[in-house]
Structure 1
Amino acid sequence: MLRRKRLPFTRFSDVAGIAIAAGYAVGRTGCWAIGDDYGRPWSSRWAVQFPEGAPPSTAAVMARAFGTPLAPGTSPETVLAAYPTQLYEVVLGLLTFLALWRRRDHDHAEGWLFGLYLVLAGLERFLIEFLRAKDDRFLPLGLSSAQGVALALTLGGVLWMAARWRTGARRPGIHVAVAGDPLGAAHTSDGRRIAGRLYVP
């Protein structure tokens, strides 16, 4: 589709990063609804039980599936309260979306915004994994496989942002306003009107 529309990947990725961040936040509401991807046991008043979760947050599941140590005498059928990490990710996903949206008019080369998305998304996942109930913490320092991927995304995003930092690869005329346009819209160099500062033909 990109080739057919003659749309450069870098330009498309800037728009896609914003959309992916919003979609991720919405998607995590589904995890909350079905009781999936919750966190480790937590004794706070803000903790949440998932008796009908997928799987339920019982002591047996926490011990068997996630290797969570339990207090002596804990019944396997006891429903444990846990960190509502799904809601944390909804909030962090929305904050990522808002941060990207506010930076959509950046003055760097096309694709820079997608690099910022990779950095923010990677950091979000890396941090939230410390609270998640997981069974794949086999990386050094007890990190999970998802944290390994998150670190790779963050590093890749930093390198990509550096590569797209004010390289002069912006589309010519994308910031030029046409005199007499009542909306003060920006136009491309060949006169086509664009909505906002992100140009999508």
Structure 2
Amino acid sequence: MHPVAFQLGPLTVHWYGVLVALGFLLGLWNAARRAPAAGLSGEAVADMGPWLIVGAVLGARLLYVLTYWREQFARAPWWEVLMVHHGGLVFYGGLAGAVLAGLVFLHRRKLPVWRTADVLAPGIALGYAVGRWGCLLNGCCYGRVCDLRWAVRYPPDNPLGPPTFPVHPSQVYDSLLSFGLYGALAWLFRRRRFDGQVFGAYLIGYALTRSVVECFRGDYPPEHIRLGLTPGHWTSLLVFLAGFTVLYTRARTAAPPGPNRTN
């Protein structure tokens, strides 16, 4: 584990923040590059960036604080809620926050919601795949104990993980699956039949890949496990149903997609 990227005087820059920011910028660049293939302005998609990042960070942090309030925040100083660089962002909360912020932006700009969502979806998977390496270096979201050759160990002073036990590199599993999901969504985008198809497929695909990775996670307190399933499993079930609903309703009611040139 190497959480610190570099030091600038009194300022400590963590790999977690660097890689999450890099993933966000890469995903947004990817979406802006893809936008003209759907008849949208790449500049308009890029302009969504500040809205999406604020919504994502607020949503991700809020869900984390609510989930781990008793364990980490109930007796801690109030400002610990703001210490995002320590880790503690829940992706599903970030996705919900980004969706809400994006809807406000699209309403203000009078841009098509579902077509824009299709443009963004592959970039979300790509950015997430990069950001998960920040979790690996930070020591959060670690896996269950294992004795595999590719197991990782964290140092004894790691506040977010087990002391020295070899564990599954669940962050790497998540990243590799998300890179695969990105490739599948990029392929689907060029062949989509209606606006909303790629975003619905993203919700289903991410719910499935996340459910697989959750089987290897080892960082949840025992009291958070219900019927043998983690909070990530339960949320993935809801996201899967949401994705299925999007595909079903859009396939029945949507008009053909906008321009679809190669990207």
User: Could you state the TM-score of these two structures normalised by the residue count of structure 1?
Assistant: 0.71
Secondary structure at the counterpart of residue 48 of structure 1 = coil
Gaps of 5+ in 2: 1-104
2:225 alignment partner in structure 1: 138
Query: Is the Cα contact below 8 Å between 1:108 and 1:164 reproduced in 2?
Result: no
1:114 aligns to 2:218 (yes or no): no
CA drift at 1:171 = 4.6
In 1: Cα distance, 2:240 partner to 2:257 partner? 27
CA drift at 1:164 = 2.1
2:139 alignment partner in structure 1: 35
1:123 alignment partner in structure 2: 208
- Equivalent residue runs for 1:16-27 within 5 Å: 16-27=120-131
CA drift at 1:139 = 2.2
CA drift at 1:167 = 4.5
1:11 aligns to 2:97 (yes or no): no
2:170 alignment partner in structure 1: 85
The amino acid of 2:171's aligned partner reads Q
Query: Is the Cα contact below 8 Å between 1:36 and 1:53 reproduced in 2?
Result: no
In 1: Cα distance, 2:122 partner to 2:226 partner? 30
The amino acid of 2:169's aligned partner reads P
In 1: Cα distance, 2:229 partner to 2:134 partner? 26
CA drift at 1:98 = 0.7
The amino acid of 1:160's aligned partner reads V
Q: CA RMSD in A?
A: 2.0
In 2: Cα distance, 1:112 partner to 1:10 partner? 8
1:96 aligns to 2:201 (yes or no): no
1:156 alignment partner in structure 2: 242
CA drift at 1:45 = 1.6
Which structure carries more helix by proportion? Answer: 2
In 1: Cα distance, 2:202 partner to 2:185 partner? 7
User: Could you state the TM-score of these two structures normalised by the residue count of structure 2?
Assistant: 0.55
1:65 alignment partner in structure 2: none
The amino acid of 2:247's aligned partner reads M
In 1: Cα distance, 2:144 partner to 2:235 partner? 21
Structure 1 residues 44-102: Cα deviation after superposition (integer angstroms, max 9, x where no partner)? 222110115442422xxxxxxxxxxxxxxxxxxxx100000011111011111111001
Gaps of 5+ in 1: 59-78, 176-185, 187-195
Cα 1:56–1:171 change in 2 (3 A) is closer
In 2: Cα distance, 1:148 partner to 1:48 partner? 27
1:76 alignment partner in structure 2: none
Secondary structure at the counterpart of residue 88 of structure 1 = helix
Query: Is the Cα contact below 8 Å between 1:112 and 1:164 reproduced in 2?
Result: yes
